[in-house]
Structure 1
Amino acid sequence: MSSEVPVPAAPPRGPVEIAADAAGPDATYPFSAVVGQDRLRLALILCAVHPGIGGVLVRGEKGTAKSTVVRALTTLLPPVVTEGRERPARLVELPVGATEDRVVGSIDLERVLRDGEKAFAPGLLAGAHDGVLYVDEVNLLHDHLVDVLLDAAAMGRVHVERDGISLSYPARFVLVGTMNPEEGELRPQLLDRFGLTVDVAASRDVDERVEVVRRRMAYERDPAAFAARYAPEDAALAAEIATARGRLTGVDLPDTELRRIAALCAAFDVDGMRADLVIARTAVAHAAWRGGTRVEADDVRVAAELALPHRRRRDPFDEPGLDPRQLDDALDRADDAAREEEPPRSDPDPDTDPDAAPRPPEADGADDSPSPEGEPDPDPDGPDGGGAPEPGERPAAPPGSEFRTRLLEVPGVGDGAPGRRSRSRSNRGRAVHAIESPSGGIHLVGTVLAAVPHQGERGRASGRLRLEARDLRGAQREGREGNLVIFVVDASGSMAARERISAVTGAVVSLLRDAYQRRDKVAVIVVRGSAADVVLPPTSSVDIAVRRLRSMRTGGKSPLAQGFLRAREVVARERLRDPARRALVVTLTDGRATGARDAVEKARAAARLLGESGAASVTVDCETGMVRLGLAVDLARAQRGGYVRLTEMSAQQVAGVVRAAA
């Protein structure tokens, strides 16, 4: 049964609070003063005109004014009327490291203990109602907060069921997130909740870059004077947004354009109907923004360019973006569908039907990895990080079939970032015992047991239990953490048989997919030729690792000792950066170390050093054939880690969990 708990409304901001907010370095930078970034500004304006679009995801490298533009948007939003009172629209920032209590709210312990009444302290989502919720580095947001955002964005309300309270409150907001793709991708569920997406990059035009620096320095010298210079332009822009909002209900969306939208979404094979709705709302907003009364083909095109790029990704390893030529082709065919009186035939065959809508490349099984031509490689030494190819080396065979892998888990209980791999102490998960700090939520039994011995001295003869603040006990919870997974891939001559290296790279891609789903950081070390190269330093962007593996070369000697030593260096370096994140080294090899007379002994000695570093490890034995030397087993023992054969990596074939030995 739900408890009636008062939910105080978030108070309106007064002049003092607004002035305090404006004191930040970017908060009052005028929207009109931003140089370039036309597509980003248009996307934000359209969401301001029609909040039902669902917000904007801004992807781009650091230093591209993502946060500056988003924070400047708030000053352009029409005021909000609440209980007959007008207040400015709010921009509420959700920190990546926020707790769930801070986001959704929690019971007001002070009032409970002081006044003996149930009371609820609202969270950040209550403050964002009818405003903008801004999440910087949204791709680094913890999974439990992502779940909360998904629920709120879907229902427009926040439901709280915790600590003996049951209530809900409205939370309708425009969700704006910024992210650097190099630091990892978003979960598909949250990615789809953003109505529009924009990729931003710094301009390469010298005059534009000069103007950016000139305006920024002028702002830093005198923010108030700089803001005043652009105040008339911002005021005019705010008035245009308010006028466009008023036009929305009068904009006509004819059936011809609806059919164009439906045909376009079908051509790109997007999941569900959200893309159709978002494009329709965005096209209406764009028509209202340009002052039109009827949606036209150009409005649909603009909407598609903003709404489709992130929805056509069928896999976290697919390249984002939208090919303009493919969009043009799809729009041409959508024109034909829009003119038809009857719906187009279902499931046309593009090989026999010349009027069939084009399918994305991945629908035909084509490789949609980026073309080497014109694609800047982030590694100065080449796509595989190993410099020029050595004699006897050749490109690796394409990855073999992928599969759902067994869970490789670090033993013990850690304190790392929330994820889905190894056990950890967490603010979420099952309660294991009571602790004095109530940060993880109230442990009811522990609180009662702490209060019981003091009832006599508190004068309790009968009736209710008498509680004091010192009785409160928190719940020590056990959840899951993400780890640093370091892949050491043997790409030497003994592994270079086409079938074997194809199976190995297929297994690594499967493991990388698993790492993406479990929110791990990954690193890849390739052992071949005369060295062990870190082709991918630790990162959360596993799609980069997949691209490196596809361009990996094989052949040459097998300096496994260097591979283990390099993995040991990576572990030591990352411990300084992120001490709480535990490491798991996964080595894929047949164990045949070559390159020197004592190469096998050196590999075992290096494996022992890696094991002594405290990193957990699993050796995946890739040896095949009737005669097995068992060298990979020796390396696993030297590391004091786990061992599994490549054929046993599939979760469908072998049940159970592989835990790396301590």
Structure 2
Amino acid sequence: MTPPYSFSAVVGLADLRLALLLTAVSPAIGGVLVRGEKGTAKSTVVRALAALLPEVAVVNGCRFACDPAAPDPECPDGPHALDASGGRGTRRRSALVELPVSATEDRVVGTLDLQRALAEGVKAYEPGLLAAAHRGVLYVDEVNLLPDHLVDLLLDAAAMGRAHVERDGVSVKHAARFLLVGTMNPEEGEPRPQLVDRFGLVVGVSAPQEAAPRAEVVRRRLAYETDPAAFAARFAEDDARLAARIVTARALLPGVALPDGELDRIARICLAYRVDGLRADIVVARTAVALAAWHGRPTVTRTDVRDAARLALPHRRRRDPLDPPGADLERLEEILEQEAPDEEPPAGGGPDTGPDPGPSGGPADGSDGGSDGGPSDGPTDGPDDGPDGGPGAGPGGPDGSGRDPDPRGGAGPAADSVGPGHPPADSGESEGTGDAVRAPSAAAFAGVPYRPRLLTVAGRANGQPGSHAGRRSPALSRHGRVVRSRRPLGGKLTSLHLPDTVRAAALRGARAVTADDVREAVKVGREANLVLFVVDASGSMAARQRMSVVKTAVLSLLRDAYQRRDKVGMITFRGRQATTVLEPTASHEVGVLRLAELRTGGRTPLAAGLRQAARTLHGERRRDARRRALLVVVTDGRSTDGPDPLTVAPLLAGVATVVVDCESGPIRLGLAQRLARALDASCVPLAALQDRS
């Protein structure tokens, strides 16, 4: 068996390594969420952590990893009695259980053991991944892509420390306390705020921006691929030192004192940072205590509180789920500076083998100050057997500040800061609109978003995989309301309809259920769609501050798409062409940035906008044929450049479309309604888009 990549061999990533080690010392912190671009060794580091965790004692034969010293009185495999030798436990390594985003609900929480139910006529429970992860690590790669129904299960288990199973005639509850670790690529969208809040610590990582550390990354990766066993042996001593230090810190943890003064400091920092609720205060306190134990100190110091706040707070102040992540890091630094220590922390109360990785920096050797058998002067990485394998990186962004990279690929100011005196690079364009000539105007600002009407795709989809679960359009799905039963399609059973299965056997007069009697539940839920916005940005939209109203409407629809878990895309048209300003993505906050940057001016090439929408939807259908699209055309229906838009309408035949009519004023031509009829679409006046129910 190929040994995993050594934790000590990963150089750089100081914040990430420290966060994982602290949660290993104190699982009560609540786990770690790792944010970073693809190829930054996120999965490699997490998988390497499992080798450092102390062994756990488990009851012999217990499928739920009960502790022999304190077995769960409600364990489904209990009650646990002493074995013949006077003991009832064995020791094994802490489990690392991976939860794939494609997992089904019954695989996660467990379900009825159909084989025993059909063969023996007994109601038996088959444990799921939550039971396997008890007292270990539950790792979710690409946690932001996890379907909502699985997120709900994780939230319940993380909040209560127990998993409750109520399905298929089975009613079971068992302990499910685990170290939750998730990784994600922000380009693919943000996870639900409730799930992010359950992670005690959030760390951002990115690839190094200098040649020397990148070369060291490749050098060590190639060495691992050439001889994994020799590579593991090279760092075995350092890994053993870290593992021993985790055990020592765990032993010290109960005795670490948190002075009232430092507790007051934590409260002041959280109040100044305007966090929601009290979970932030608790997590910062637990992290500070774990930091003191890690450094062998008997008492929490100011430095511990500062470092804990940097790891536990940046993700907790986001007031709006569509705000760019990391926007408040500067504010946190200002608050921490006000609480700056005026003296050096006391010397450690226990052995310290060398410098430690810390949130404000750390050694670049990744070896925790110990000796190893190879170079330790640059960041490194091992081959990632997950989707994001790649080079290691220093903490935070390329400048080491911990700041998340700008979603647009740069580090410029926020889009809303662009004012009338700062036109975009293409502002020299000028096209006629009617008899007048207008240059592109400054970006209009959106108002306060509102709850829009629910726009849906008509009909019912023929069943979607878990990754398409959402809250917009009706669809046959694995989750939802049971409407009927049927024989399993292709002989594969996804969800048992127990009453109809028993009824089918009874109608045959049989005393036992056979495979021919099995009935599958047909469920109707809701799916997520691709919502593609086609927005008129021509000069006519600047009249009477119409663009501000339009931006408010589109922002409201973007927020609605986020809440319903849709993918979104955006096309604008003005002058003589249409531009895809946002390729279809799950990163709704990037759509908000693109909308804030949108300026008006020039002619109205409506046909070009529709044609670009047809091309985009065609490409998306090839990539994901199951996801249905909803086209939202925001226009007043005017067309002053290019062919008649009605000639382009056949390209969008069969696409669910809504035309948002932006025409205003006492005299209206009804052009948007004419376009809606040609597209076989609904026409909603802009003023009627808000849901007033």
Class of the TM-score when normalised by the shorter of the 2 chains: 0.7 to 0.9
| Other-structure match for 2:477 | 426
1:377 positional shift: 9.8
Report the residue type matching 1:73 in the other structure.
Answer: L
Per-residue CA deviations over 1:386-414 (Å, capped at 9, x if unaligned) read 95651211222101231001100001111
Partners of 1:528 and 1:31 lie apart in 2 by 53
Would the aligned equivalents of 2:477 and 2:523 in 1 still touch at CA under 8 Å? yes
User: Is structure 2 residue 368 aligned with structure 1 residue 331?
Assistant: no
2: CA distance, partners of 1:107 / 1:423: 28
Which among 654, 670, 678 is matched to residue 638 of structure 1?
678
- Which residue is equivalent to 2:136? 131
- Which residue pairs with 2:355 in the alignment? none
SS in 2 for 1:248: helix
SS at match of 1:203: coil
Say if 2:369 is the partner of 1:393: no
Structure 1 residues 405 and 562: alpha-carbon distance in aligned structure 2, compared to 1, 3 A threshold: same
**Superposed, which structure 2 residues align to 1:135-146 within 5 Å?**
135-146=140-151
Residues 316-365 of structure 1: CA deviation (Å, up to 9, x unaligned): 121222655533431354579xxxxxxxxxxxxxxxxxxxxxxxxxxxxx
Summarize the alignment of residues 114-513 of structure 1 with structure 2, pairs less than 5 Å apart: 114-321=119-326, 325-334=330-339, 375=411, 389-391=428-430, 392-414=439-461, 415-416=463-464, 417-437=468-488, 439-455=493-509, 458=510, 465-497=511-543, 499-513=545-559
Q: After the TM superposition, which residues 24-173 of structure 1 pair with which residues of structure 2 at under 5 Å, given as runs?
A: 28-83=4-59, 84-173=89-178
How far did 1:378 drift?
13
Q: Could you tell me how far apart the structure 2 residues matched to 1:125 and 1:66 are? A: 22
Distance in structure 2 (CA, Å) of the matches to 1:104 and 1:513: 31
Q: Are the aligned partners of 2:26 and 2:290 in contact in 1 as well (CA < 8 Å)?
A: yes
Q: In 2 relative to 1, CA 44–199 (structure 1 residues): closer, same or farther, beyond 3 Å?
A: same
Q: 1:117 to 1:445 in 2, by over 3 A?
A: closer
| Partner of residue 646 from structure 2, selected from 590, 600, 604 | 604
CA distance in 2 between counterparts of 1:63 and 1:247 reads: 36
Greater per-residue helix proportion: 1
Are the aligned partners of 2:531 and 2:630 in contact in 1 as well (CA < 8 Å)? yes
Structure 1 distance, partners of 2:147, 2:619, is 24
Cα shift at 1:580: 0.3
Q: Does structure 2 conserve the Cα–Cα contact (< 8 Å) formed by 1:435 and 1:474?
A: yes
Kindly, what percent of the aligned residue pairs are identical? 57
1:607: how far off?
Answer: 2.4
Q: Distance in 2 between matches of 1:407 and 1:371?
A: 28
The more displaced of 384-393 and 212-221 is 384-393
Pairing 1:579–2:630 present: no
Task: Report how far residue 445 of structure 1 moved.
Answer: 3.2
Q: CA deviation at 1:609?
A: 2.2
**Residue identity in the other structure for 1:166:** S
Q: Closer, same or farther in 2 for the Cα pair 1:373/1:497, shift >3 Å?
A: farther
Q: Does the CA contact (< 8 Å) of 2:423 and 2:442 recur in 1?
A: no
Name the residue aligned to 1:552: 598
Q: SS at the partner of 1:159? A: strand
Query: Equivalent residue of 1:299, what SS?
Result: helix
Superposed displacement of residue 578, structure 1: 0.5
| Deviation (angstroms), 1:556 | 0.3
1: CA distance between counterparts of 2:657 and 2:582? 19
- 1:432: how far off? 1.4
Q: For residues 326 and 501 of structure 1, what CA distance do their matches in structure 2 show?
A: 32
Query: Is the contact made by 1:385 and 1:535 (CA closer than 8 Å) also made in structure 2?
Result: no
TM-fit CA distance, 1:164? 1.3
Residue identity in the other structure for 1:608: P
**Structure 1 match to 2:608:** 562
Offset of 1:497 from its aligned partner?
Answer: 2.1
Letter paired with 2:450: F
- The one-letter amino acid of 1:492's match is S
Moved more, 390-399 or 564-573: 390-399
For residues 580-618 of structure 1, the C-alpha deviation after alignment (integer angstroms, 9 at most, x for no partner) is 00011001100011125xx4xx211112321x1x21100
Structure 1 residue 447, shift from structure 2 partner: 1.0
Q: Is the 8 A contact 1:107 1:119 kept in 2?
A: yes
Whether the 8 Å contact between 1:400 and 1:502 is mirrored in structure 2 is yes
Aligned to 2:429, the other structure's residue is in SS state coil
> Does the 8 A contact of 1:384 with 1:535 survive in 2?
no
Question: Could you say what secondary structure the match of 2:493 adopts?
Answer: helix
Structure 1 residues 258 and 377: alpha-carbon distance in aligned structure 2, compared to 1, 3 A threshold: closer
The total of aligned residue pairs comes to 583
Separation of aligned partners in 2, 1:492 and 1:508: 16
TM-aligned CA deviation for residue 165 of structure 1: 1.6
Is the alpha carbon distance of 1:307 and 1:555 closer, same or farther for their aligned partners in structure 2, counting shifts above 3 Å?
Answer: same
> Given the alignment of the two structures, is residue 620 of structure 1 paired with residue 666 of structure 2, yes or no?
no
Alpha-carbon separation, structure 1, partners of 2:304 and 2:427: 49
Q: Residue type of the partner of 1:375?
A: A
Secondary structure of 1:270 counterpart: coil
Distance 1:147 1:298, change over 3 A: same
Given that residues 273 and 331 in structure 2 are in contact (C-alpha distance below 8 angstroms), is that contact kept between their aligned partners in structure 1?
no
Question: Structure 1: which amino acid aligns with 2:130?
Answer: L
TM-score (norm 2): 0.81
- The residue identity in structure 1 corresponding to 2:15 is R
Q: Which moved more, 1:85-94 or 1:469-478?
A: 469-478
1:180-223 deviation line (CA, Å, top 9, x unaligned):
11101111111100000001000112111110000001111111
Q: What TM-score does the superposition give when structure 1 sets the normalisation length? A: 0.85
* Aligned-pair Cα RMSD in Å: 2.4
1:35–1:208 CA contact under 8 A, matched in 2: no
Residue aligning to 1:651: 691
Output the amino acid matched with 1:153.
A
Shift of 1:99: 0.4
Q: Is the 8 A contact 1:269 1:312 kept in 2?
A: yes
Does structure 2 retain, via aligned residues, the 8 Å contact 1:440–1:477? no
Contact 1:440 1:476 in 2 (8 A): no
Question: Which amino acid is the alignment partner of residue 35 of structure 1?
Answer: V
> Residue in 2 aligned with 1:346?
none
CA distance in 2, matches of 1:643, 1:374: 38
Is the 1:384–1:552 contact (alpha carbons within 8 Å) kept by the matching residues of 2?
no
1:403 counterpart letter in structure 2: Y
Q: In structure 1, the residue corresponding to 2:291 is in which secondary structure? A: helix
- Secondary structure (helix, strand or coil) at the match of 1:390 reads coil
**Alignment CA distance shift 1:169-1:244 (3 Å):** same
Aligned-pair CA distance for 1:625: 0.3
Q: What CA deviation, in whole Å up to 9, does each residue of 1:291-328 have, x standing for no partner? A: 11110111011111111111011111212226555334
Task: Report the residue type matching 2:49 in the other structure.
Answer: L
Do the aligned partners of 1:395 and 1:551 also contact (CA within 8 Å) in 2?
Answer: no
Gaps of 5+ in 1: 1-18, 337-367, 459-464, 656-662
